C-alpha cells in the first residue's frame, strides 16, 4: 500500500509539474504576443503636408476664351508603423464648379516603416473644358478661378509581412487661382480611412474612376483613424 501511495504521489507531482510548465510556457507566449502586437500593431499613416504647385501658362478672354494651367497636389505621408504601407495607382478628379475638368493619377508606390515619403501625383487640367464652362466668363472677369483637386492614395498596411489592413488617404484641395496676378491660394483637408471603411471607399471610388465621397470611417485601433487634417 505504501508503494502505491508513493507512486500516486509521484504521478501527482509530475502532473502538477507538467501543468506549471505548460502554464509558464503559455504566459511567456502571451507576453511575446503582446510585445509583438505593441511593437508591430498597425498605426494609420499621417498626412504632414500638402504643398500645391499651380501655374498659369496661358490666359486670355479675346478673341476667344483660352486657358492653360498646371496644378500639382503633392502629399507628404508619414508612416508611424514598423510595417510598410503599399498603395496602387488611383485616378481622381479635378473639378471646376462641380464639373470634371481634369484628372489626378497617383502612381503605385510604398512608404516604408517609420518613414516619410512625398507622393507626387500626375495632374492634368483640360483648359478647353474650363473655358467652355458657363461660369468661366464671370470668374475670369473677377480674376479668380476656383478648382477642387482630389488626390487619393489607396493601399494596404502590412502587419508582420502576413496580414493586410486596408488604408485610404484622401486629400481634397480647394484652390483659388488669381489669373491676372499669376498667383494662387489653397486649403487642403486630408482624411485617413482604415479597415472596412477604407475598403468600402476604395470600391466606391473605383466604380466610376473617381473618388467623390468625403465621408469618414474607422478601422485602425488608433484614434487617428477617420480624422480629417487641414493644411494650408
Domain locations in the chain?
A: 1-31, 41-204
User: What band does 36 get if pLDDT is binned at 50, 70 and 90?
Assistant: low
Average pLDDT of span 98-102: 93
Average pLDDT of span 80-102: 90
State pLDDT tens for residues 199-208.
555 555 544 4
Q: Which pLDDT value is given to residue 97?
A: 94
Q: Which pLDDT value is given to residue 202?
A: 54
Average pLDDT of span 80-99: 89
Q: Which three cell numbers stand for residue 143?
A: 480674376
CA distance 52 to 25: 55
Q: Which three cell numbers stand for residue 66?
A: 483660352
Question: CA torsion sign, 75 to 79 to 80 to 85?
Answer: positive
Q: Does 2.60.40 match the CATH number of domain 41-204?
A: yes
What pTM did the predictor assign? 0.68
User: What band does 165 get if pLDDT is binned at 50, 70 and 90?
Assistant: confident
Q: Which pLDDT value is given to residue 135?
A: 93
Give, in order, the Cα–Cα distances in Å from 184 to each of 86, 94, 138, 145, 159. Answer: 32, 16, 18, 9, 41
In this structure, the dihedral spanned by the alpha carbons of residues 138, 171, 206 and 133, taken in order and rounded to 10 degrees, is: 10
Looking at the predicted structure, is the pLDDT value of residue 42 above 70? no
Amino acid at each position: 500500500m505504501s508503494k502505491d501511495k508513493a507512486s500516486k504521489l509521484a504521478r501527482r507531482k509530475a502532473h502538477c509539474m507538467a501543468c506549471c510548465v505548460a502554464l509558464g510556457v503559455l504566459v511567456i507566449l502571451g507576453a511575446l504576443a503582446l510585445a509583438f502586437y505593441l511593437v508591430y500593431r498597425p498605426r494609420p499613416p499621417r498626412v504632414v503636408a500638402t504643398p500645391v504647385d499651380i501655374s498659369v501658362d496661358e490666359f486670355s478672354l479675346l478673341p476667344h476664351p483660352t486657358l492653360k494651367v498646371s496644378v500639382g497636389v503633392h502629399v507628404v505621408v508619414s508612416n508611424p508603423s514598423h510595417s510598410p504601407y503599399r498603395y496602387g495607382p488611383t485616378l481622381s478628379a479635378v473639378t471646376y464648379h462641380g464639373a470634371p475638368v481634369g484628372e489626378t493619377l497617383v502612381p503605385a508606390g510604398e512608404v516604408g516603416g517609420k518613414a516619410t515619403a512625398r507622393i507626387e501625383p500626375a495632374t492634368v487640367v483640360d483648359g478647353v473644358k474650363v473655358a467652355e464652362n458657363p461660369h468661366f466668363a464671370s470668374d475670369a472677369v473677377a480674376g479668380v478661378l476656383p478648382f477642387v483637386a482630389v488626390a487619393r492614395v489607396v493601399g494596404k498596411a502590412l502587419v508582420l509581412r502576413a496580414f493586410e489592413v486596408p488604408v485610404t488617404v484622401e486629400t481634397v484641395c480647394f484652390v483659388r487661382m488669381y489669373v491676372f496676378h499669376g498667383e494662387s491660394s489653397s486649403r487642403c483637408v486630408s482624411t485617413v480611412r482604415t479597415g472596412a471603411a477604407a475598403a468600402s471607399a476604395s470600391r466606391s471610388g473605383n466604380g466610376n474612376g473617381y473618388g467623390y465621397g468625403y465621408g469618414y470611417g474607422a478601422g485602425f485601433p488608433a484614434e487617428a483613424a477617420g480624422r480629417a487634417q487641414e493644411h494650408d
